Amino acid sequence: MNLSPDYQPLPIVGIGSCLAGNPVRYDGQTKAANGHVQRMLECFDARPFCPEMAIGLGVPRPPIQIVGEPDALRVVDVATGELDVTVPLQEFAHQVIEQTPRLSGYILVKGSPSCGFDRVKRYNNKGNVVAHDSQGMFASTLAALDPLLPLEDDGRLNDPGLRESFVTRVYVYHQWHKLCADGLSASSLIAFYSRYKYLVMAHHVPSYKSLGKLLANAGKENIDALATEFIASLMTALSMRTSRRSHANVLFHLAGYLRKHIAPAERQRLSALIDQYRLSAIPLIVPITLLKHHFANHPNEYIAQQVFLNPYPDELQIRNVT
Ligand code: SF4
């Protein structure tokens, strides 16, 4: 896949090694990645990790499971319950975070006692399932160590809304790492947010307003404290699902910048396309493409920098969903 240089370097994203095609499952098999994950493998700098292999369990290995009460979970082997790998799995998560400083997301593996995102089976000491309410031990440790790190599993990524939010947050977190490495200042923080305004509006209008107010204090407050609050609020906003209505709202805002530049018939055609999108007749990529075409003919410096128009590579086909 030949991605636009605009997206280089690619975001660094961890992925369960079995999903990346490596035969590391307990039975020596891989796990087939769905088409969405396969496309992500080509649009991310994917780093495969297998926590169970990394802690020395090998292939083939005895299967493991989560046991205990929610506040005292352990991961033990199914057969005897005597091999406890809880701490090694937690330690490996520390190692991944420490050794991958610009990690911008992680694709977990559905149902795994190590790598599952949610609803992993929990057993009692007699080996009976008592609930489907756990996260894998490695996954929960990653989430605790970096609460902003975008996490999803291969199953959840079949959901278009979750997929869009995940990929969006991966690319934003990637840019955030770059901003921090380049050096934070009040002006760089304001310039950063200025590019994301319409993207945030598409996800959560109240955050669009509150983030603007938060940055009104840039220059007066401690920059590190302000940046911490800012990125936490930004990532929370982008974790909200968009809707056709919220996207249409942003599209109409952007179309407003063209009012004086395109003929009435062109304006009508653009509005009609946005309405068709809102009513689920066409995918988002159609009105976006027409908007980009008009802005190419009538450039606008502020709109040109808006990430909303190009949040991630088109090759991910996220905006092609009808
Ligand atoms: S789910 Fe995680 S621990 Fe299990 S094989 Fe895949 S990468 Fe390894």
pLDDT of res. 4 = 86
Pocket of ligand 1, candidates 18, 47, 154: which has the most ligand atoms within 8 Å of its Cβ, to mutate? Answer: 18
Ligand 1 atom with the shortest distance to the CA of 48: 7
Task: Kindly tell me if the per-residue pLDDT of 44 is higher than 90.
Answer: yes
The model's pLDDT over 181-226, given as tens digits with 9 standing for 90+, comes to 999 999 999 999 999 999 999 999 999 999 999 999 888 889 999 9
What's the CA-to-centroid distance between 31 and ligand 1, angstroms?
9
Share of the chain above pLDDT 90, in %: 95
Q: Is the pLDDT of residue 14 over 80?
A: yes
Segment 293-315 mean pLDDT: 97
Name the band, by pLDDT with cuts 50, 70 and 90, for residue 5: confident
Contact 117, 110 (CB under 8 A): yes
Pocket of ligand 1 (CB under 6 A): 16-18, 24-25, 50-52, 109, 112, 114-115
pLDDT greater than 80 at residue 102: yes
Q: For residue 101, report the distance from its CA to the centre of ligand 1, in Å.
A: 22
The Cα–Cα gap between 182 and 184 comes to 7
HEC states along 254-282? HHHCCCCCCCHHHHHHHHHHHHHHHCCCC
Question: What mean pLDDT comes out for the span 233-255?
Answer: 98
Atom 4 of ligand 1, residue of closest alpha carbon: 25
**pLDDT value, residue 272:** 98
Strands 64-67 and 74-77: antiparallel
The two three-digit tokens of residue 64, written as one number: 């493991």
Number of Cα atoms under 13 Å in the Cβ half of residue 164:
21
